[in-house]
Copies of this chain bind each other. A is one copy, B any other.
Amino acid sequence: MGRWEPNARDRLAQAALTLYAEQGFEKTTAAEIAARAGLTERTFFRHFADKREVLFFGTEMARDLLVRAAADAPAHATPMDTVGAALQALGALLQENPERVRQRDAVVSANAELRERELIKLAGLAAAMADALRGRGVSEPAASLAAETGIAVFKVAFARWIGEPDQPDLPEILRASMEELRNVLAERAGHHDDHVR
A interface size (C-beta, 8 A): 50
The answer to whether residues A180 and B119 also contact, given A137-B197, A138-B196, A185-B80 and a CB cut-off of 8 A, is no
A151 within 8 A of partner (CB): yes
* Interface segment out of the listed A28-36, A53-61, A100-108, A154-162: A154-162
A3 at the interface (CB under 8 A from B): no
Residue from B74, B152, B184, B189 in contact with A142 in the complex, judged by beta carbons closer than 8 Å: B184
Decide yes or no whether A181 CB sits under 8 A from chain B: yes
A45 to chain B, nearest CB (A): 24
In the complex, A190 Cα to B76 Cα: how many Å?
6
Does A22 sit within 8 A of B, measured CB to CB? no
Q: State A153–B146 Cα separation when bound (angstroms).
A: 9
Collect the chain B residues with CB atoms within 8 Å of residue A160's CB.
Answer: 140-141
Query: Is A148's CB under 8 angstroms from B155's CB?
Result: yes
Which residues from B are CB-within-8-Å of A192? 76-79, 138
Complex contacts, A189 vs chain B, CB 8 Å: 74, 76-78, 81
Nearest neighbor of A195 in chain B, beta-carbon distance: B142
The answer to whether A180 and B81 touch (CB under 8 A), given A120-B119, A149-B185, is no
Q: Do the beta carbons of B180 and A145 come within 8 Å of each other?
A: yes
Given contacts A116-B120, A140-B160, A149-B149, 15 further A-B contacts (CB under 8 A): A78-B192, A78-B195, A79-B187, A80-B187, A81-B188, A81-B189, A119-B119, A138-B196, A141-B156, A143-B195, A144-B156, A145-B180, A148-B153, A149-B152, A152-B152
Per CB-CB distance, the 8 closest pairs between chain A and chain B, nearest first, are A148-B152, A142-B195, A78-B192, A152-B152, A119-B119, A144-B156, A137-B196, A145-B181
